[in-house]
Structure 1
Amino acid sequence: MNKILLLLLLASPLAISQQISLGAQYYKKGEYLKAAYSFKAEIPLLKRDVGEKNKGYLATVFLTAESFSKAQRTNESLQYYSEALKIYKKYPSLKKDFKLKRLVRGYYNALLMSSFEMFLADNYKETEKKLLECNSLVREYNLGDSDKYPLYKAFSQLYGKTGNVNHHLDYTLKTLELSKVINGENTVGHIKELSNTAVALDGLFKYDEALVYIEKAFSIFLDLDLDVLGPLASHLLTVRASINISLENFNKSEKDLLLVIRSLNKNKDIHPSYKKRFLGSAYQNLGYTYYKIKNYDKSANYYNLSLENYKDVFDSNSLAIANLELNLANTLDNQGKQNSAKPYYLSSLKKASVNYRNIYYGLSEEEKFLFLNIRIGTYFTSLSSFALRSNSNDITIVNELYNATLFQKNQLLNSSIRLKDAILSSNNLQLKTEFNEWLEVKKKLSKAYLSENSNDNTNIFALESKANFLEKNLVNQSEKFKKFNDISNPSWKSIQEKLKPGELAIEFIDFEHYFQKWIDKKFYCALIIDHESENPKMVYLFEESELLNILNRNKTNLRDGIESIYGTLDKKNNELYNLIWKPIETFTQDSNIIYFAPSGLLNYVSFSSLSKGNDFLSNSMNLVQLTSTAKIIEKTDISKSFKKATLFGGIDYGKNSEWSYLEATKTEIKEISKILNQNNITVESFTGLNAKKVMF
């Protein structure tokens, strides 16, 4: 309290008001929020009476910030710390009476706290922004090791969580160096930093280096004579086992994991939830150890034990459960028990997709992309490989594959930002209020599902119920919300309902092959439905290397390259047709309109230029290319979809161009223009040299 009084005595007598005195009393009693509001109330009066150049004014702003900080009101404390620092820099005369380091350190700690709050809310972009600002303060004001240590540790956690493995290792090593000074080398704190470094190196496949750090951690652990049955011992053994699995030292990983399991079962002091989590992890790693040495019976047994423990700790749709089910599916598949493996393959993919839906509104657009491609992609690939190996027309599997393909594509194509903008621009106040409330509930659900420590399933159920209730209201009130939900969660059935007789939908898929290990091959298949299909059909097409052999032909110029792939008007090339279309031609021959969505390298193929015999595919059937066959759900009349069109034809490319003038294209755009004009669509046409100028 003396420090506060000294700060206030720096002001003129006018500054020692009743509010400041009251604030000082609250501060002394530890009632920091009341103190903050008392100091805050005096700021505008002081500014009016003595001006911001006065040292008492600066002291009051600073004390407001510090009181808010101690009251854990981070945003308010940041506001006043920032203001105090601004005043300090603006008036050099204040520097002789006011300790800069205390002011900077207060601001620094508030920023760190704010970054931690952002991290817990899974707002990683804002977390990084706050931490970078802290880093600027460290450099500008030459802050010490005790300040850098929590900062570098926070950077390490952030980049570890977001998968930036290089930055993760960089800051983990910096934290480790500072730990020698802050914690001392023979301490529990330093043991933990050595373990974190081992994990970071493991993530970069530097297994030998990782093993050195974890062994050093063990050495200190034994020197300190710590509890071998405690959680720290179990953690170190688990990390070492994981590294040894990567190094294929399976005997060593087996020994460590069995020791973890015995220790945990003997320890009566560990909280039941914590114990089940650790046991589940040990059983899972042991299951994977036996999987790698092809002891599938033991592997399946330990995976099942892990599942029993995880079910009591994690939500049923968590990625921890999904990943374990996928491991169990692969093990059963390798045992030749395809019928037993199938439900686990299906369940793991379903759980991963549900998990994504639950965290959707808690992720940025970039994080959604990474989550879909890295996490959910593994489940999709595993099921696709299983379908190809077992029975590619298993009804349940093919149905799920089609729906999963639609789900992945549409989550990438449909941005939640567009929905939010559409709803919030509405004049319906109740709609906007309920939408914002629904968003907040969804964000809380995201946090609950992503949390590695949360096992409060009752809270999750309550949030899910509230979200569902609000969602029903929103669907009833808003066509835009209903349409977004329909489009974002499509199924092959919803597409089929839009297909007319004679129409066909083809969703192409590509996936890497997995059986016992990842095989360096990528396969392409087609999923096909028409207006009366009972279920989609899955047709195997080709390996990607076969397509690359055709597309990668080296020619001296672009035109020769295209002609070598597709042929010419006089001499067609049927290779691409035979590779891509021939396997599915029995399904397409009676169709008038074929909607298709390419995947992978098929996005580089001109389907209309595929030729069978002496004719192009586009001359025998109407092909409509889509980014996803789910776009059929949005299908509208052409006259309602756009009001203006720009057409190019009869282009004069110039004398030195590889491309020739095509007179017929000029005629074609005239005919197209007539059709569009009949539908009240304004047309702007470019031909000759004008077309080239506009295009280029």
Structure 2
Amino acid sequence: MMRRLLFGFILAVMAVSAVAQMLMQPSAESDELFAAGVDLYNAGKYREAIPLFAKSDSLDKAQLDSTSNRRDYSSMWLASCYYKLGDTLTAADIDANYYRFAPVDRRLTVKSDSLLQIGMEYFNQGDYAKAAEYLTKCAEIEKSVLGESHIFYGNSLNFITLCYYYLGNSNSAILFGKKGLTIYEKVLGKEHPNYATSLSNLAGYNSDIGNYAEAIRLGTEALQIQEKVLGKEHPDYVMSLANLAIINAEISNSDATRYCVEATEALSGIVKRTFADLTARERNLFWDKYKAWFERTIHLIAYDMPSDSLAENGYNGALLAKGLLLNSEVELSTLLKESGDEEVAGIYNDLKNLRLQINKLYEMPVAERPLDADSLERVAQGLERQLVQRSKAYGDYTANLVIDWRQVRQKLGDSDMAVEFVSFPMRNDSVMYAAYCLRKGMALPKMVPLFEERQLTSMDKRLYLSSPMLYNLIWKPLEKEMKGVTTVYFAPSGELYNLPIENLPIDGSTYNSDLRSYRRLSSTRQLALRRDGVEVEKAAVYGGLKYDTDTVTLANDSHKYRTAEPVQWSSRAVADSLNLRDGVYELPATKIEAEDIDKALETARIDTKLYTDTIGTEASFKALSGSEVNALHIATHGFYWTEREATQLDGLAFLNTDMPTVVQE
């Protein structure tokens, strides 16, 4: 029952679906069966009431939307009948949460249920003030009709609590949260997951108003209950660990380190275990729950409380988080391709072609789509589910998702250094950049704070290639760590993805690339997974592309790379911003580079395809999927500005040079 499910943990958004049929009521036939069943139940005739509630429940499940909170009353009464007859197992199977409680007559809660549904709809829309208004009215009716100690009333109070929390009114959240907690203690008892969840949320609200001692007390009590009732691997227990780490870090309490490290290790385990059974879409939704911990929180704590343990923890978290969703796709794809199973290969190719169909459909206006994209999505989900299950016969594709920093260190040479850049929001609305550094001889990774993003974005972009300002911001703080280093393997973050940080001026005549080699990676985890002796067999090289290619040429080109799909190409305007400005339309030097690389690869007898001019299009790039290309080079020199940025610059003045040959090349 939607209303019976309690919210999750601190900062967690309630997973309540949009209410499509919020005010639908059970049918007249169901109501008659329900009423007759209630009469028999109240007369102690539980066995006679069972078939009536079973039929009513069957009708409700068939006729009411799954989000309707009018849908599960009959199952509550049905479970209670079995419980009264001593069949606890059947009762728990029907309604595990409420079979022990006195069931609620749905005829008394028509108005309150409607108010609850409306309130939850406002909650989903982010209108927490309106949500609180309707939920408060709902709670008042429940208190009057069901009593001030009823579980429904307690649940509504906790929903109201969340509304006030999201409105920034932590004091009111604490007030309503305490009332809800009192009801849970009385009805459920202290050793119950919902009671522990309420404690954990109250800890968060107290932390928000600076009442850290109380927050730690409540959070610790919640953690102890969850460990006893749920176990240390349960997500609720792990999130309570994370919450305690955050609260303790607010006051620089050393306990934050222990909680932070334990939470990261446990959450990494949950990700690895859970991903193995999920499709790509499910992995996306699952990762949304936990990514803030790996992408922000652990780095913020490591920055606030510098220590070897937290630097180690932060680096491990970054190794997991960067490119996790893409990495999981690649690992699964590799495992399936190496299986040698022709049936699996057939399913994989069917899925790949179906995804191409779906992508083409999404590129077209809804009214012009010849097929229903949602229906194809469901078919694709089914195929992917088959592949996920079949993959288990050939190995664990999640084995390489959780990489430890020691595995990276093992692959480093004496003069190598790994640098994992991270960027994370601070409490003052600023974004901080830092680097996790690792060398072969280091006992542990080291976190080096670098700069705030506003220092970078406020810099005159015309000075990027003519001044050491950018180098001083990014690399100079790492000079001590880079002493004796000849090769730096680095993975950028945030704005650093858009900057040529491997080739920055140090002074008037020296660039950082003159001093050592810099190799850009998506994540330094790639070092741990590097296979020694892997040979390139097939390559694709792009360079000298025509950025202002007309749409007719693009449409014609797309037909060269058709896939098995019924959707016809729909010619549409190209919105690339390079077409919207009077600037550089092509980069001639990239064609020279691409041709030189193509010749070198051919000399090495590597099967190579060169894409230049109008041949190197988006369609040609997409067609590489499944072609077994294991080396790809795209020559892309220069900067890319948004229209707003471009209008603020005078043509190519950002290069700050009078040498036309430099501009041309």
TM-score under structure 2 normalisation? Answer: 0.59
Deviation at 1:206, TM superposition (A): 2.0
Query: Which residue of the partner structure matches residue 344 of structure 1?
Result: 259
Look up the equivalent residue of 1:496 and give its one-letter code. Answer: R
Structure 2 residue 315 is matched with structure 1 residue 395: no
Partner Cα separation in structure 2 for residue 302 and residue 408 of structure 1: 30
User: Are 2:191 and 1:191 aligned?
Assistant: no
Residue 123 (structure 2) aligns with: 202
Q: Which residue of 2 aligns with 1:490?
A: 403
Q: Distance in 1 between matches of 2:267 and 2:158?
A: 25
1:573 aligns with 2:467: yes
Q: What is the CA distance between 1:375 and its match in structure 2? A: 2.3
The letter for the 1-side match of 2:123 is: D
**What amino acid maps onto 1:594 in structure 2?**
V
* Aligned partner of 1:217 among 123, 138, 148: 138
After superposition, the Cα gap between the structure-2 partners of 1:619 and 1:658, relative to the gap in structure 1 and judged at 3 Å, is same
Shift of the 585–417 alpha-carbon distance from structure 1 to 2, 3 Å rule, reads: closer
* Aligned counterparts of 1:340 and 1:265: Cα–Cα separation in 2: 28
- 1:611 positional shift: 1.3
1:294 is displaced (CA, Å) by 1.6
- State whether residues 541 and 598 of structure 2, in contact with CA within 8 Å, keep that contact through their aligned partners in structure 1: no
Query: What SS does structure 1 have at the residue aligned with 2:224?
Result: helix
**Alignment partner for residue 518 of structure 2, among 617, 623, 637?**
623
Report the equivalent of 1:154: 66
Are the aligned partners of 2:545 and 2:586 in contact in 1 as well (CA < 8 Å)? no
Instruction: Kindly provide the amino acid, as one letter, of the partner of residue 314 in structure 1.
Output: L
Q: How has the CA–CA distance of structure 1 residues 634 and 356 changed in structure 2, closer, same or farther, with 3 Å as cutoff?
A: closer
Structure 1: runs of 5 or more not aligned: 1-127, 139-143, 158-182, 433-473, 554-560
Residue in 2 aligned with 1:278?
194
Q: Within 2, Cα distance between the matches of 1:372 and 1:401?
A: 17
Counterpart selection for 2:327 from 414, 431, 452:
414
The letter of the residue matching 2:270 is N
| Mapped contact 1:504–1:528 kept (Cα < 8 A) | yes
How far is the alpha carbon of 1:507 from its aligned partner? Answer: 1.0
AA partner of residue 539 (structure 1): V
**Match status 1:356 vs 2:254:** no
Deviation at 1:148, TM superposition (A): 10
Q: 2:446, 2:159 → 1: CA distance?
A: 45
Aligned to 2:239, which of 319, 323, 342? Answer: 323
- TM-score scaled to structure 1, two decimals? 0.57
User: Which residue does 1:640 correspond to in 2?
Assistant: 535
Q: Which has the higher helix share?
A: 1
Q: CA deviation at 1:385?
A: 1.0
Judge conservation of contact 1:186–1:220 (CA < 8 Å) in 2.
Answer: no
Structure 2 CA distance for aligned equivalents of residues 305 and 496 of structure 1: 39
Does structure 1 retain, via aligned residues, the 8 Å contact 2:272–2:398? no
Cα shift at 1:525: 0.8
Residues 423 and 504 of structure 1: is their aligned pair in 2 closer, same or farther, counting only changes over 3 Å?
Answer: same
1:372 partnered with 2:266: no
In the aligned structure 2, how far is the partner of 1:213 from the partner of 1:588? 60
Per the TM alignment, residue 397 of structure 1 is displaced from its structure 2 partner at its CA by: 1.1
Cα separation, 1, equivalents of 2:548 and 2:533: 31
Paired residue for 1:260? Answer: 180
Determine which of 588, 601, 615 is the counterpart of 1:676. Answer: 601
- Residue 540 of structure 1: aligned partner: 449
CA distance in 2, matches of 1:648, 1:280: 59
Q: Which of these residues, 386, 395, 402, is aligned with residue 301 of structure 2? A: 386
Question: In structure 1, the residue corresponding to 2:228 is in which secondary structure?
Answer: coil
Distance 2:126 2:583 in 1: 50
Counterpart secondary structure, 2:255: helix
Letter in 2 for 1:220: I
Which of 243, 249, 256 is residue 163 of structure 2 equivalent to? Answer: 243
* C-alpha contact (below 8 Å) 2:421/2:493 kept by paired residues: yes
Residues 1:189 and 1:642: Cα distance change in structure 2 (over 3 Å): farther
Q: Equivalent residue of 2:535, what SS?
A: helix
In the other structure, the counterpart of 2:458 is: 549
2:397 is the alignment partner of 1:502:
no
Q: For residue 481 of structure 2, give the secondary structure of its aligned residue in structure 1.
A: helix
The residue type equivalent to 1:384 in the other structure is H
Q: Aligned AA for 2:222? A: S
The answer (yes or no) to whether the contact 2:490–2:524 under 8 Å persists in 1 is yes
Shift of 1:524: 0.8
What secondary structure, in the 3-state scheme, does the structure 1 residue paired with 2:428 have?
strand
Letter aligned with residue 210 of structure 1: A
Give the Cα–Cα distance (whole angstroms) in 1 for the partners of residues 295 and 589 of structure 2: 48
Q: Percent sequence identity over matched residues?
A: 20
Q: CA deviation at 1:293?
A: 2.3
Q: Which runs of 5+ in 2 are unaligned?
A: 1-16, 25-29, 32-55, 70-103, 346-390, 550-581, 618-665
One-letter amino acid of the counterpart of residue 446, structure 2? K
Paired residue total: 458
Q: Tell me which amino acid in the other structure corresponds to 1:388.
A: Y
CA distance in 2, matches of 1:289, 1:492: 35
Does the CA contact (< 8 Å) of 1:653 and 1:661 recur in 2?
no
Alpha-carbon separation, structure 1, partners of 2:223 and 2:111: 33
For the pair shown, the structure with the greater C-alpha radius of gyration is: 1
| Alpha-carbon separation, structure 2, partners of 1:639 and 1:251 | 61
1:602 to partner: Cα distance = 0.9
Q: Tell me whether 1:530 sits opposite 2:439 in the alignment.
A: yes
In structure 2, relative to structure 1, the CA distance for the partners of 1:372 and 1:651 (3 Å cut) is: closer
